[in-house]
Amino acid sequence: MTRPAPRLRGRVAAALATVVAVTLVLSGCVYSLIPETRPASTASPTPDTDGVDEELLPFYEQTLLWGDCGDGFECTTVRAPLDWSDPSVGDIQLSVVRHRATGGEAIGSLLTNPGGPGASGVSLIRDSLAFAVGQPLQQRFDVIGFDPRGVGESTAVRCYDAAQMDAYLFPDVSAPRGSDAWTQEALDRHEGFAQACEANSGGILPHITTENAARDMDLLRAVLGDEQLNYLGYSYGTFLGATYAKLYPERVGRLVLDGAIDPAASGFDVSTTQAIGFESALRAYMTDCLTSDDCPFRGSVDEAMADLGALLASADASPLIAADGRELNADALTTTIVAALYSRDNWTFLTNALSDVLQGDPEFAFVLADFYYNRQEGQYLDNSTEAFRAYNCMDYPADETFEADEEAAQAQLEAEAPTIAPYWAGPDPCEVWPYPPTGVREAITAEGAAPIVVVGTTNDPATPYEWSVALADQLASGVLVTRVGEGHTGYNKGNACVDSAVESYLVDGVIPEDGLRCE
């Protein structure tokens, strides 16, 4: 079946401008990994085991040994049950990094998640601390990054090596788009990927769910010695945080959810709304581009968008070949565009890439596409693509509304996102996933939870503003803060109004005015 699938990458995708700038002047790895061998250091405080089931006590009572992992960070691993419904099945390991409060004694831990699903929380904090949290939060909290189950340095989903991943993400497609042969080629690729994930992941795939990750997060809260969870989640991390609040409303401390996902939205709704969001962001980019002499497009915005559509169609029919042999077809060029639209700071890079493509040069377009997949010098720096697929296939049930009228659904997508729509949908990769989904899509109210601040950005392409409005409305204690602007997520992006609202709440418990609008 042809359907659009959710396409989230989270906070890290918005850091493109910094990474591209570094990539252009430096060779080698931008990101560093946590050392596997860590010397023992300080032990953790007494874990909070109040109300914990007896069978889970061995996990909640574990003592953490923190090791120095350089640059002022401490690292540890936490044992968690593979199956929360049957802890006897076995354990997994969760990788955790901590940055101690810089302003004296911490008021507690602040857990963070960059999104994805599949983005590394360890890398977010170790490599991008200032990007992840502002100075007021660094001063008052022990800032915690962790790789959720299935991700990064935790017990991880493993599927393909770099060469296999290149062939999967950047395939040489022989059949015409939309034909039966094209559909079968895509399904065969998805099935090969799914089989590799099953073969190489050690039996963890059915347990890679957001609900299990939220339970892991409560375990982290407890072994860190916190009675309640303080949390800053971006993008998909908002769904993780909202799921935590649903499961443990009485343990919610101060939660900020930035760039929200609507928990009630189906997979089709998520992807369609995203496509419309990226189309809107693309028009905003094009409006700005046309004011510059460097813009490769001319005429009105509508004319420029039509020319971009023609460029995508040309890439689909006659892909450009990069120096490494990869084809820049319409799918790869769409990824280039999407990667750049996560932040207004990236628009200049998009102009450069599109100008080059129009001249027959795909190299810089691949720099942007590679950033989206965290690929560098022919290697993938993490397993975010594998984990992304694993979580989404377990979290999103089949969409009966879409299946009932696929043609109408596709027509809606094409009407509202005409530039992007032709390259947004394809055979559903989760049709061939080894395990059926266990997640549900439903509103989350989290009755009894402390106030939960939801931050939305009005022209966020990846997590459109309407999702933040929806989540704040669903949550019984939801408080909406709006950033008027472009790009993905709102906190720590240069808007003093948003930053003050978020930091005052997390540090001092000052609840923002519901509906606060930050221009």
Residue whose pair of structure tokens reads 């860190």 in the numeric block: 224
Measured distance CA(410)–CA(419) in Å, rounded:
13
Beta strands (DSSP E) in 100-210 are 109-113, 142-146
For residue 67, list its beta bridge partners: 75
Which tokens sit at 96? 């955790």
Q: Tell how strand 67-68 and strand 73-81 pair up.
A: antiparallel
Give me the sign of the Cα torsion angle 360, 361, 367, 373. Answer: positive
Angle between helices 347-358 and 330-340 (to 10 degrees): 160
Rg (Cα) of the chain, in Å, rounded?
22
Dihedral of CA atoms 502, 508, 514, 519 in degrees, nearest 10, equals -40
- Total Cβ atoms within 10 A of residue 477: 19
Count, in order, helices (H) and strands (E) of the chain.
18, 16
Active site residue 488: yes
Active site residue 44: no
- Check residue 305 and report its DSSP letter: H
The answer to whether 6 and 396 are in contact (CB under 8 A) is yes
- Total Cβ atoms within 10 A of residue 462: 28
Q: Which residues contact 40 (CB under 8 A, 6 or more apart)?
A: 65, 67
Query: What type of residue sits at position 429?
Result: P
Q: Which residues contact 62 (CB under 8 A, 6 or more apart)?
A: 47, 78, 79, 223
Q: Tell how strand 109-113 and strand 142-146 pair up.
A: parallel
Strand, helix or coil for residue 207 = helix
Q: Tell how strand 516-518 and strand 478-486 pair up.
A: parallel
Query: What type of residue sits at position 352?
Result: N
Which of 221-231 are b and which e, b meaning 16 or more Cβ less than 10 Å from the residue's Cβ?
bbbbebebbbb
The answer to whether 464 and 276 are in contact (CB under 8 A) is yes
What distance, in Å, lies between the first and last C-alpha atoms of the chain?
Answer: 43
Measured distance CA(449)–CA(477) in Å, rounded:
7
Catalytic residue among 109, 120, 123, 235: 235
Distances (CA, A) of 130 to 77, 374, 488: 23, 20, 17
Active site residue 235: yes
Catalytic residue among 271, 460, 468, 499: 460
Residues annotated as catalytic (active site), given as ranges: 235, 460, 488
